Structure 1
Amino acid sequence: MTATDVQVTASPASGTATPLRLGTRASVLARTQSRAVADALTAATGVPVELVLISTEGDRSSAAIAQLGGTGVFVTAIRRALLDGEVDLAVHSYKDLPTAPEPGLNLAAVPVREDPRDALVARDGLTLGELPPGSRIGTGAPRRVAQLRALGLGLEIVPIRGNVDSRLARVAGSPGGPGDLDAVVLARAGLSRIGRRDRITETLDPLQVLPAPAQGALAVECRTSDARTRELLGRLEDPATRACVVAERATLAALEAGCSAPVAAYAEVAEGESGPELFLRASVTALDGSDSVRGSATGPLTDAASLGRALAAELLDRGAAALMAAGE
C-alpha cells in the first residue's frame, strides 16, 4: 500500500483545528468525490480536511475485477489505513464495499446520492436503440453485460477496464483515443461528478437497464472508536439515501452475491398512503441474457433491510441462484 498526503484544505472558518485525514483512491473520480465530501465537511463543521492517496489492488491490476476476487479490491487497502490510524476517515463508492460490515469501522455517513442510472456514450450522438446490430459496446460490469444482451439488440459486448476518460476515449470520434468502440456504458453519477455529463447520449431507463445496488452513492467510514469524527460525519447524512441503499444492498447480501454478479437493485422514495415509502426493484439476469427474474416490493423506510431480504427471497424462489451460477 502506498499513501501520500497531497493537499490540505483549511477553510477560513477552520481556525487552527487539526486537519482530518481522508483516505481515497487516486483516480480522478475518487479524488473528485472525496474532495466534495471534504469540502462539505469543512463547510458544515469548520474542520479542515486533507486527502491522502492510497493505492488499492484494483488500481494496480489490469485484470478483470472478477479475476481479482470481485468485492473489496478497491477498498481493502483504504480500510487497512483507517484501522491502522494512518487516516481518520475514508470515502468509497458505496457499490465497491463488501456487504458484510468491517469490524472496527463505522459507516458514519451516506450523503445525498447522484442519479444512480446508467448512461450511454455513443458515437454520432446515437441512442441505444439507434445503434445498428453488431455495434461494439464497451462495459466491464457483468450486470450491464447481462442486461444489454437481454435486450436482444444484436450488440457485441466488449469487456473494458480503466478510468472514465480512458473508456470515453475508446468511443469512435473521441479525440486522442483508439476509437475502437461504437459506445460505452458507464454510471451517470461518475460522468456527472467529473464534468463529463455532456458526453452522455442517453440516460438508460431502469426498465431497460436496472442500476447496480448503491450505484451513485458514497459511503463515508471512520473508526468505531473515534466518537468525534463519527459525530462530525453525521452532519453529512441523508436518511432517504441511506434507506434506499440499505434496501438495495440487503437484496444483494441475501442473494449472497458480490459486486461482480449480474444483480441489479434500485430503490426510490415515493409518497404512500401513510407517508414516505420505499419502492424497491431488483433483478438477476443470466450472463448470456437468455433469462432473468425481476421483482419489486414496497414498504416503510424503517423496514429497508427486511424489504431487501424479502425481495431477494422472492427472486431466489423464482430461480435467481441458477441464473447467477450460470455466469460463473
Structure 2
Amino acid sequence: MAARDAGEVDALILASSGLDRLGEAHRISERISPERLCPPLGAAIIALQCRIDDEETKKVAALLHHPATAAEVIAERTVLQGMGGFCNAPLAGYCTTDKSGLLIVRDMVFTLDGATAIDVRHSGEDPVDTAKELCRRLD
C-alpha cells in the first residue's frame, strides 16, 4: 500500500445529515440504510433534561416533544431492558412508525463472534407491548 499524505483517507462514514446541512450532499456516494447496517438500539436519541421544579423550561421543552418519536424510544429502551442489553451487548435494532401510526420494532441479536445473527421484527400499536412481544420471540 502506498504512503498517504496527512489527512488522506480511503473511506469515511459520516452522518449524511451533516453533509446535507453543509451543502456537501454531492460528496455522498451512498446513504447506508438501517436495513443494511442495523444501528445500536437507542442510537441518535436526543433527550432534554431539566430540574423537576423548573416549570418554565418544561413548558419550552414540551413544544419540542414528538409523540411518535417518544413511542419509538420507549419501544427501543424496552427491548434493551428485556434483552438485558448494555453498551457492549451484541444487540442492534430500531423502531419506526409507519404512515398508519403502527410501530415496527426490529432487533438483531448476534453471537459474540458475530458468526450468527437472529433478525426479528414485530409490529403493534403500544410501544411496551410490541417490544415485549419481540423479546419473547427472541427467547
Does the CA-based 8 Å contact 1:250-1:306 persist in structure 2? no
Decide whether aligned partners of structure 1 residues 262 and 221 sit closer, same or farther in structure 2, where only a CA change above 3 A counts: same
Task: Tell me which residue corresponds to 1:253.
Answer: 81
Measured after TM superposition, the shift of residue 193 of structure 1 is: 7.6
Cα deviation digits, residues 160-203 of structure 1 (max 9, x gap) = xxxxxxxxxxxx98x85153xx33444545x4487365543212
CA–CA separation in structure 1 for the residues paired with 2:15 and 2:81: 21
Does 1:310 pair with 2:133?
Answer: yes
Does 1:288 pair with 2:116?
Answer: no
CA–CA separation in structure 1 for the residues paired with 2:20 and 2:52: 29
SS at match of 2:62: helix
- Please report the TM-score for the alignment, with normalisation by the length of structure 2: 0.79
Cα deviation digits, residues 258-300 of structure 1 (max 9, x gap) = 23333211211114xxx42111111112343310111011111
Q: How many residues align?
A: 136
Cα deviation digits, residues 147-169 of structure 1 (max 9, x gap) = xxxxxxxxxxxxxxxxxxxxxxx
CA–CA separation in structure 2 for the residues paired with 1:184 and 1:260: 23
Cα deviation digits, residues 37-62 of structure 1 (max 9, x gap) = xxxxxxxxxxxxxxxxxxxxxxxxxx
Q: Counterpart amino acid of 2:51?
A: R
Q: Counterpart amino acid of 1:252?
A: L
Decide whether aligned partners of structure 1 residues 216 and 193 sit closer, same or farther in structure 2, where only a CA change above 3 A counts: farther
Q: Counterpart amino acid of 2:75?
A: A
CA–CA separation in structure 1 for the residues paired with 2:7 and 2:21: 19
SS at match of 1:284: strand
Measured after TM superposition, the shift of residue 224 of structure 1 is: 1.8
Cα deviation digits, residues 240-260 of structure 1 (max 9, x gap) = 111112211211121111233
The higher radius of gyration belongs to: 1
Matches within 5 A, 1:1-328: 176-177=6-7, 179=9, 182-189=10-17, 191-192=18-19, 195=22, 197-271=25-99, 275-300=100-125, 303-315=126-138, 317=139
- Please report the TM-score for the alignment, with normalisation by the length of structure 1: 0.37
Work out the percentage of aligned pairs sharing the same amino acid: 31
CA–CA separation in structure 1 for the residues paired with 2:14 and 2:92: 15
Structure 2 unaligned runs (5+)? none
